[in-house]
Amino acid sequence: MEVQKLPQDQQAALAITNFAASEVNTLQRLFVFSAHRVTDDNDINAAIMIQRFSVLRRWSASLFEFREFLSFGPKPKEKANDMLVQVWAKASVEKYRALEAIDGYGVVRDIRNEAGSHYSFSAAKKNIKHVSDIADCNLYPQAQGGNSYFPMGEEVMFLGRLNRHGANLKTKEEKMKLFDNWMAWNIQAAKWLSHVQSDLVGRILKAHFPEKKPTKRIVSIDPVLVGNEADIKVPIFYRSAQ
């Protein structure tokens, strides 16, 4: 493999950056395909929301984890990492700070810290005070474990945390704006990660493999593997093959 000719630190940085970019792109796609319309049955709606919000939280968490990776990047004194230092500085200083100024950053950070990447007992106790009086605390077990779901957790750890974050908001419209801001932040952060990945790959190719050029490839893909927002969704429940 030609990539083995690269300095070890560049191999590692390239691997993590490509890993994060692929993961975020996958989660973003799954989130889009999890956009089921609500039904007339609130029990089913609970399962729909849990699935979609689970993907959204994981998507956000991956973006934050990549930021954490950058924060522990190479130090300027490590001359072997000069290229990485430049990438880190551009990604962290010039771009990410702009993301921190976007309205959705605060709510995404809070959810990531207490319900996305971590399960916080102290946060759960605080959130309980902000849970709706009509919260769904039913249990929905099913013989096939993947079909089971328990909305109380969502009501407390996610919706309760959103309500706590927006405790000073008065109207339903203001609270809905929280979710819109979250989505806007995720989309902008995903673009930021894509730029970081492109910048790093471009610098490495130019420095070590200047003769390499991108090639266009046309492939035939089974239609079952391709869809758009209107006609394909991630199922909520699954049926046994037996």
Query: Domain total for the chain?
Result: 1
In a domain, 11, yes or no: yes
The predicted pLDDT at position 79 comes to: 53
In a domain, 156, yes or no: yes
Q: Can you name the residues that pair with 140 across neighbouring β-strands?
A: 149
In a domain, 161, yes or no: yes
In a domain, 35, yes or no: yes
In a domain, 239, yes or no: no
Q: Could you report the per-residue pLDDT of 168-218, keeping only the tens digit for each?
A: 776 767 777 888 888 889 999 999 999 999 999 999 888 888 888 888 999
The parent domain of residue 27 ranges over: 2-212+220-225
Q: Could you report the per-residue pLDDT of 116-157, keeping only the tens digit for each?
A: 788 889 999 999 999 989 999 999 999 888 999 999 999 999
List the one residue out of 37, 33, 62 whose CA is nearest residue 49.
37
In a domain, 38, yes or no: yes
In a domain, 231, yes or no: no
- Average pLDDT estimate for 81-91: 81
- Which is more confident, 123 or 85? 123
